[in-house]
Structure 1
Amino acid sequence: MFSRFLHKYLALIVAVQLLIWLSTGLLLGQMHSAPTIEKRVENGVDLSENDEELMTIKQLLALSPNAISIELVNLLGKSVYRVMTEYSKHEQEKTYELYDAVTGEQFNLNEVDIRRLVTSKFQFTSPITNVSLVQPPFSELPKEKSPLWKVAVFDEFSTHIYLRASSGDIVAVLNENSEWTSLLMMLHFMDYQNAGSFNHWWIKLFALLTLVMSITGVTWLLQIMMTKPAVPGTQRTKKWLTVIDDKEAEHRIEGRVTDNLLSILQRNKISIESQCGGSGTCGRCRVVIKPTDPVLTADRYQLSKDQLKAGYRLACQRVVGQTSIVRVDTNTLLQTISAELVNNEFLTPFIKELKFKYHSPETFVFRPGCYFKFSISKGKTRGCPPDLPRRFRRFWPYSERSSFFHPSVTRYYSVANRCEGAGYLTFNIKMQPAPSSMLKPGIGSHVLGNLGIGSVLEIEGPYGGFSLPHDFHKKEFVLIGGGSGIAPLKSMIDELLFGLQVTQSVVLFYGARHPIDLANHNWFKDIETTLTNFSYCPVVSRASNIWFGATGHVQLPLRSFLEAHHAKDQCLFFLCGPSAMMKDVKDMLIDYSIDPNAITVEAFASSTTHQV
């Protein structure tokens, strides 16, 4: 569900900012400021005792017609009119002019004046090293918009004094500790653009995100409360649930009324897919219950109107107590089989084909597009496979030559062949090298990729709903894949052309970075040469000098295909590859008025069938 997805990521953002607030607040509270330069005691000067005749206000206004306010001050031992010519509620944005109160001459403070001025106001124990006029913006004083005089003092704290150029007022006395404090203040108050105030859009945006997080959290809580039994004490009550598969076979399972429906099905080896961990965001755990059952937000977001009317709901959004009969789209229960590795070879620099011979005491059936679970025990494996062909060695970093220890993990991989009764399972597994010397390579892909011929594993499956429909009479098939996402598409092509021997058109668009990254390329080319109803369009984004095929992204030839095709409503589309690529392709298909029910997507994700 979108609100849950949004709530999780907003909570992460808010938590990070709260951690920044807490840490910077503690640091600011523990900091000790370096001592600043001591100020001299100002006795003041009585300007009324000045014997010189001062110019009148009328005369001054003739010299400064834009005057907003006039103040008589003593500056460097002489009488001076300080005239404000631009007003602002913030002192740093006001503009002043200085006039000799006796002669009426306008003047600006120079370097000598600034030295005399700071010497009269501070007691220095270290010499002044430099006096310079600097222009905005100032990283240390982001509020200041006018030129300032900067006085550098040669002391152990690198003290510097800022004075306003137009008036001679002291703006700030800063040192190296002040800069560190300013950084902490910027982080503490989210002043990332150095606005110098609390009134900026970062604070407003964070407040808005916090409000949205609260609303989505309350919404999520209400949904959970609505799906839980309201009667106290029912949490321990058990009931029997009838599960009917697509062969009308009934399976009776028992669970507590508060058990999640998806969890209880998977615990009882009912083959039902879920990629999002039960959060309602993948829409794969579809079951059929009574059409009159309430439709939740996640159901409405993931399922079509026709599916909702037919009684389809998401199993992860319901508990056992809400239903008694469930229909699932599966043709087999999950089985754990013993499989022996009979072939292990590289297809591309990083994709290996592993072929297993399985031994099952029962009739074992799987559908093309499904995936299997591999449970990998903790241990040690190589960072670089020993059978790496010489032609591929230049693609592997030298840091992969060593071995590494790994914990126990579970990984899922799509099957790349059809179920032909010969007892073989083939997988295309992408080995993921470490992104840096500080990180480990992909655990699952390296353990499996380094297996020797004759190794025996326990594999569980089949899982998955990414498969061919039961009724596809007179439909054409368009398959779009990217990278190692070609594996389930290869099994579908194998089933369509050699298992079912369909006569309608089958088209494959396959994208990769380089020509050498196209897995099973020769297999597809051979089929295209042999069968007239199969078309193969490989696309690479980084072509070599010897590549004569399509270049760019797979969306380009696909767009040309859609524009030229006059019966797009008779096509079924199957997509498998990186999430961003699949989203773009799906959006393109929707733009060409393709029925969403004719589009089946298997995108890479953290818990999908394509893992490392």
Structure 2
Amino acid sequence: MPIIKQFHKWASLLVGIQMVIWLITGLFFNLMDFNFFSGNTYRDLSRPAINPAEQQKLIPIEQALNTHQEALEPVSQVKLITMLEQPYYLLAHNLPAHHYWPVNATLINANTGKIQHIDENFAQQIAVKSYIGTGKVSRIEKLPPPFSDVPKERNNLWRIDFTDDVATSVYINEHTGRIVAHVNDWRRFRDIMFMLHFMDYQREGSFNNVFAIVFGFIALTLSVSGMIWLVQLIASGQLRFSLNALRHKLTLKNNNEKAPLTPESPHQITINNHHGERLKRVELTEHQQLLELNLLDGLAQHNLSLTSDCGGGGSCGLCRVKLTKSSPVHPAEREKLSKKQLEQGVRLACQHACTGVSEVQLLRPLT
């Protein structure tokens, strides 16, 4: 049982932290401006179309294929696209299910019939053409996956950085010349929130990741351990349900068993050993009896707070009081108290219901 309690405590902490993260990130997603955080602050989103009159002047695709027949791999699909105000045939040699999966393609200029390679100069032209900001190109490099800015992408990409106020980066597909994304600091912040929300700490671009699976397992075992603990509390009599409200007196004594306990403030008790006054009596209300509060909570409701770090879970062992020697001993008390202390009647206040106690002796100053 101690192992189950420790696991339940730490699992509760982990689940609680992730719940707070979900609350914060979920609120962010509900309030954020999608366009602002899209990364397209300085992106030209216009899509120029091919003039039908000019299209008739293009080299037929059959002629282009025959010209490069020996250099080309088998073609699965042909598309006519516009790039840098020029028409190109995009020959796909494979057909991936998603555009970010590995692609093998060839570009042929539809006016000249020549194969166009996406080299550094051509990639820079594409990036500059799509950029409407005032920044200048600061760096160009070809990178293999994975990419922190576009985690799903599995193709080699050209990255072109611009010197603007939001650190814009443009990613160009090495094979197709497609603009994969414009990414800036605002989009990077959004991606961090997505990472936290979906627990995608390995930046796979997916919520179906190992951290989410492990978290689901922890949440499941948290529920199971909570049920086991609940059954144990009921079986040991520490948790009882009652429909009868019985009048019950709770007597409080100080450590010397003579002076009265007088609440001075919500968090302090004044112990006077010198006046021989009557011992103070605290009477439980009917509502408190129905709830069957434990002694720790019952004292707290009368502004008499015992020291406790676990909130009444029986794991810290700090809320020690002295009851009658015949008071039942619960499992948590066997773990936290010595045999000699148990024989003297020392018990944990959080483990005993107020209605089962007629007299209690405090062993340390109240906080």
Which TM class, normalised by the smaller chain length? Answer: 0.5 to 0.7
Match of 1:52 among 51, 59, 79: 59
Q: Which residue of 2 is the match for residue 268 of structure 1?
A: 323
Aligned AA (1:188): H
Match of 2:47 among 38, 42, 45: 42
Match of 1:149 among 137, 142, 158: 158
Q: Matched residue of 1:93: which SS?
A: coil
* Fraction of identical pairs, as percent: 22
Deviation of the 1:89 alpha carbon = 2.6
Q: CA 1:94–1:68 in 2, change beyond 3 Å: closer, same or farther?
A: farther
Q: Which residue of 1 is the match for residue 4 of structure 2?
A: 3
CA contact (8 A) 1:136 1:147 kept: yes
Q: Distance in 1 between matches of 2:62 and 2:46?
A: 30
Q: Which residue of 1 is the match for residue 76 of structure 2?
A: 68
Q: Which residue of 1 is the match for residue 243 of structure 2?
A: 232
Aligned AA (2:323): N
Deviation of the 1:185 alpha carbon = 2.0
Q: CA 1:132–1:258 in 2, change beyond 3 Å: closer, same or farther?
A: closer
Deviation of the 1:66 alpha carbon = 4.2
Q: Distance in 2 between matches of 1:181 and 1:41?
A: 24
Q: Distance in 2 between matches of 1:141 and 1:265?
A: 57
Aligned AA (2:46): V
Deviation of the 1:164 alpha carbon = 1.2
Q: What number of residue pairs does the alignment pair up?
A: 288
Q: CA 1:194–1:279 in 2, change beyond 3 Å: closer, same or farther?
A: farther
Q: Distance in 1 between matches of 2:325 and 2:334?
A: 21
CA contact (8 A) 1:39 1:121 kept: yes
Give per-residue Cα distances to partners, 1:201-232, cap 9 Å, x unaligned: 11111112112112222332333344245552
Deviation of the 1:167 alpha carbon = 0.9
Q: Distance in 1 between matches of 2:170 and 2:204?
A: 21
Aligned AA (1:48): Q
Q: Distance in 2 between matches of 1:86 and 1:95?
A: 6
Q: CA 1:267–1:114 in 2, change beyond 3 Å: closer, same or farther?
A: same
Give per-residue Cα distances to partners, 1:339-394, cap 9 Å, x unaligned: xxxxxxxxxxxxxxxxxxxxxxxxxxxxxxxxxx8x6x8xxxxxxxxxxxxxxxxx
Deviation of the 1:36 alpha carbon = 0.5
Q: Does 1:207 align with 2:216?
A: yes
Aligned AA (1:92): Y
Give per-residue Cα distances to partners, 1:143-185, cap 9 Å, x unaligned: 2222211222222222221111111111111212222222222
Q: CA 1:318–1:152 in 2, change beyond 3 Å: closer, same or farther?
A: closer
Deviation of the 1:237 alpha carbon = 6.3
Q: Does 1:188 align with 2:205?
A: no
Q: Matched residue of 2:80: which SS?
A: strand
Q: Which residue of 2 is the match for residue 82 of structure 1?
A: 90
Report matched runs for 1:94-493 at 5 Å: 94-100=102-108, 105-226=114-235, 227=237, 228-229=239-240, 231-233=242-244, 266-268=321-323, 270=325, 279=332, 282=335
CA contact (8 A) 1:40 1:122 kept: no
Q: Distance in 1 between matches of 2:326 and 2:93?
A: 80
Give per-residue Cα distances to partners, 1:371-430, cap 9 Å, x unaligned: xx8x6x8xxxxxxxxxxxxxxxxxxxxxxxxxxxxxx98xxxxxxxxxxxxxxxxxxxxx
Aligned AA (1:52): I
Deviation of the 1:115 alpha carbon = 3.1
Q: Distance in 2 between matches of 1:93 and 1:134?
A: 15
Match of 1:91 among 50, 75, 99: 99
Stretches of structure 1 that go unaligned for 5 or more consecutive residues are 239-255, 288-314, 324-334, 337-372, 378-407, 410-612
Q: Which residue of 1 is the match for residue 273 of structure 2?
A: none
TM-score by length of 1: 0.39
Q: Distance in 1 between matches of 2:166 and 2:205?
A: 24
Backbone CA RMSD of aligned residues = 4.6
Q: Distance in 2 between matches of 1:16 and 1:145?
A: 32
Structure number with greater CO (CA < 8 Å, separation at least 6) is 2
Stretches of structure 2 that go unaligned for 5 or more consecutive residues are 250-288, 296-313, 341-346
Q: Matched residue of 1:92: which SS?
A: coil
Deviation of the 1:318 alpha carbon = 7.8
TM-score by length of 2: 0.62
CA contact (8 A) 2:109 2:115 kept: no
